[in-house]
Amino acid sequence: MRERIALVDVNNFYVSCERVFDPTLRGRPVVVLSNNDGCVVARSQESKDLGVKTGMPWFKLQDQARRWGLVAKSSNYELYGDMSARVMEVLGRHGLWQEVYSIDESFVGLAGTAADLLALATRIKEDVVRYVGVPVCVGVAPTKTQAKLANHIAKHTPTLGSVCSLDSLADQDVWALQQRLPVTGLWGVGARSGERLRAEGIDTIADLRRADPSKIRKKHSVVLERTVRELNGVNCLPPTAERADRAQVMYSRSFSTPVSSWEELDQVMNLYTQRATARLAAQGLRARVLTVSAGTSRFSGEASFPSRSVALPSPTADPLLLTRYAVSALRSVTNPGTQYVRAGVMLSGLDRDTEHGGQEQLDLFGSPGEGEQGSLFDDAGPGTAAPSGAAGGDGGSSDPGRSSGAGDGQQLNALLAAVKGKFGEAAIGLGRGGFSEEPEWSMKREFRSNRYTTEWDELPTVRA
């Protein structure tokens, strides 16, 4: 009996969701575009084979697309979110425990003999495609880092049939694989760490596995030390929900038309902060730090990504307070007349609001995009990295630091959630966030397929 960790992820998740309801997309090159149909965030295998890269602007691809028969789809958040919830529920039924890592990835705890583990992993793969209709890869191993590696092997070794359990591979085969794969193939080892390791003669995963963890810690980081230990079968990654790097709530979007006045930016910040706060409150969390950011276009000369972090006087989920801080913080780093194409709000330094009995909840959207596609919400854009010196600022020129009264806004959040639940998302909002007409800068989704699973008038049709 061995306890193991499976990492399950959906292959080309967004494209796979589209294909469930539109069989004509099967076998064809398909891409899914970011907000406002700007650039490629997800690709089918056929698109990858054609050399289409993530991040390519759609307008540069359009001509070839016609020649290739490549189909572009706008991001269909409603569909992907619903399909993700289904996948995660199916996965959860198979595990001793489950830890949702991103919209299309989850860790699942398994136990059994080597043969059991392989059978369980195969069953998981078959069930997800049978119940939800999307294909997955499953990697099973003693630690998360190894599970991620096993998943990678499953994905790139056609004979394994999308399932790889390290216990079912011969030790020498695992070593041979690790000798071939570069360290940058590992979870959390980026190009920069890869370069530094290479300078020390550590090229492959096998090299890193043999390295002395305490030396790695001194020369590099605790994170990399953990990677070494995990490669040697020692579990040292805590559950995702408890990890510091996950502790943020983000709301970031591109606009369909540039915004250049403070009035419009205020409106944007108002709405985005309320959305972020609603997510925060739904998870029973409070924030200590608020970071706002904006960005100008990459295609019009020198792009700039102003941002500012504000330390909040006390942990809070108060939408009024946070909105005031966000509006004035963004004003302090932007200039009227400049054309901004995106903006975002990040809430970090989170803690659990135990007073109000905050409930643990699966967070499908809050995690940094680690999968193959760009993050669903364009998170982690270049504008979000605030200069560290900015943290602990005073919250901008005016003093917005007056709370909305009792507690830290939980009552207000509950009220807003109740009204929205009853009368719809646009029914109520604070200040400039409370408008019922689609503002001009809201998103463009020209090639969006139907919201097949969430809207009565957009159901798939079946011909009789």
Partner 1 sequence: MPGADRFDAASRVGEGGAGTGQPTQAHGFPSPAQDYFHGGLDLNRLLVRDRTSTFLMRVEGQGMAADGMMDGDEVIVDRSLHPRDRSVVVAVLDGELTLRRWHERPEGIILATDDGAQVTRVGADTELVLWGVVTRSLHHV
Q: Which residues bind partner 1 (CB under 8 A)?
A: 21, 23-24, 26, 86-87, 89-90, 130-133, 405-406, 411-412, 414-415, 417-419, 421-422, 452-453, 459-464
Closer CB to partner 1, 126 or 394, in the complex: 126
Residues 6+ apart with CB under 8 A from 330: 265, 266, 269, 292, 294, 308, 343
Q: How far is the CB of 352 from partner 1 (least distance, A)?
A: 21
What is the rounded distance in angstroms from the CA atom of residue 105 to the CA atom of residue 119? 20
What six digits make up the tokens of 57? 């602007």
Phi, psi of 392 (to 5 degrees): 80, 15
Closer CB to partner 1, 25 or 153, in the complex: 25
Q: How far is the CB of 405 from partner 1 (least distance, A)?
A: 6
Query: Is residue 78 a contact partner of residue 49, using CB atoms and an 8 Å limit?
Result: no
Closer CB to partner 1, 28 or 352, in the complex: 28
Q: How far is the CB of 36 from partner 1 (least distance, A)?
A: 29
Closer CB to partner 1, 255 or 452, in the complex: 452
Query: Is residue 8 a contact partner of residue 137, using CB atoms and an 8 Å limit?
Result: yes
Query: What angle separates helix 319-333 from helix 262-282, to the nearest 10 degrees?
Result: 140
Closer CB to partner 1, 87 or 386, in the complex: 87
What is the rounded distance in angstroms from the CA atom of residue 7 to the CA atom of residue 403? 43
Closer CB to partner 1, 6 or 79, in the complex: 79
Closer CB to partner 1, 111 or 414, in the complex: 414
Amino acid at 259: V
Q: How far is the CB of 135 from partner 1 (least distance, A)?
A: 14
Q: How far is the CB of 411 from partner 1 (least distance, A)?
A: 5
Query: Is residue 57 a contact partner of residue 63, using CB atoms and an 8 Å limit?
Result: no
What six digits make up the tokens of 72? 């572009």
Closer CB to partner 1, 26 or 210, in the complex: 26
Q: How far is the CB of 89 from partner 1 (least distance, A)?
A: 5
What is the rounded distance in angstroms from the CA atom of residue 351 to the CA atom of residue 346? 14
Nearest to 241 by CA among 372, 366, 140: 366
* Alpha-carbon dihedral 52, 57, 62, 63, rounded to 10 degrees: -80
What is the rounded distance in angstroms from the CA atom of residue 51 to the CA atom of residue 354? 50
Closer CB to partner 1, 26 or 180, in the complex: 26
Residue bearing tokens 């276009």: 297
Q: How far is the CB of 451 from partner 1 (least distance, A)?
A: 12
What is the rounded distance in angstroms from the CA atom of residue 404 to the CA atom of residue 421? 22
Q: How far is the CB of 385 from partner 1 (least distance, A)?
A: 38
Which residues lie across from 204 on neighbouring strands? Answer: 182
What is the rounded distance in angstroms from the CA atom of residue 120 to the CA atom of residue 93? 11
Closer CB to partner 1, 234 or 459, in the complex: 459
Q: How far is the CB of 26 from partner 1 (least distance, A)?
A: 8
Amino acid at 271: L
Q: How far is the CB of 154 from partner 1 (least distance, A)?
A: 22
Amino acid at 59: F
